[in-house]
Amino acid sequence: MSQTTQQPPTRAFFHPGGFAKLDAKPLTDTERLRWLVGMFARLQLRSLTSKLTAVSFPAGALMGAAILALLTHIPQLMEVLGDDRRVFVTDKAMPILFGMNLLTAFLQTTIWVAPVIASDVQSGALLLYFSRPLRRRDYLLARFLAATLVTWLELASAAVLLVLVQIATFGVALDGGSIAAGLMFWFMVAFAEVLVSLFVAAVISAVALGCSSLARSTNGAPLLFAGLLLGSIPLALVLGNVAGHGPLWESVNLAQGLNAVHALVMALLSPQPLPEGLLTRAIVGVAIWSGLAVGAWQLLVRLLRNPPMGKGRA
């Protein structure tokens, strides 16, 4: 008796128009996931407004370069730099750029990440994806990795660009130190920015995608994510007034929680002592965002176990 051999999965090319075409080339699980991530990332950056938003990240670093040029060439402004260039880098330059880019990342995630799964549900594309050799976990992981990758590259590239600008402005060796010590400092700053950007991109992408599982509409998901971010501001104020002002409640404000995480990492590289309450704010920020991300992931898994039929389908 002849035995039937199981064929490897075929490569599936999905298009936004609601159709798919196949070729006969074998595709491993890793290749399929990598291809899906690339496709979803390109779709996220397809519109002109998303491209303009992506350009705004390095634009902040270039603005910082212009400000540094003014500070270093105008004697009346040089006192802003302070006596220790490392303190300026870790306590002023990098936190200011991170705060600006964090708001831009929130905006981009609200507009282009939060509604993607809800859009697939409404258009019926979700059933198209699952009708081909594509597992639910591959779809969900690819959506998450694509959103994380785009946001991470935008945040990290802007931070690394500003680090390079500061090296060109201040030099490798800082405040009379050795070149080796300067290289280590700049490397640690850039490496810390890359790691913090990865954490930020991962948690906000997961939470934004999770909003689709609750709202399930292309308009409701962005509003839900934006409401979560904005609603945390008065919540932090109310809790601070009721329970007493302190670092524990400041990070209930979701934006402040991520800013505290970044500030803590930069403070560990600064020669200055650790600011009071910063460690508590950073821990609370990590705990809240991690909890939201885990909860959002569970909601997405539950949604994809029994995906809706989509608008106009029964």
Question: What are the tens digits of pLDDT across the range 209-235?
Answer: 999 888 878 889 999 999 999 999 999
Question: What are the tens digits of pLDDT across the range 232-284?
Answer: 999 999 988 887 767 778 889 999 999 999 999 999 999 889 998 999 999 99
Which residues partner with 19 through β-bridges?
15
Question: What are the tens digits of pLDDT across the range 71-127?
Answer: 777 766 666 666 678 888 898 889 999 999 999 999 999 998 999 988 888 887 777
- Give pTM, 2 decimals: 0.86
- Which two tokens mark 261? 């995480």
Q: Where are the domains of the chain?
A: 27-305
CA distances to 122, 159, 196, 212, 230 from 60, in Å: 36, 9, 18, 30, 23
DSSP 3-state assignment of 6? coil
Report the C-alpha dihedral over residues 279, 285, 287, 290, rounded to 10 degrees.
-140
Q: Are 211 and 114 in contact (CB under 8 A)?
A: yes
pLDDT of 26 above 60: no
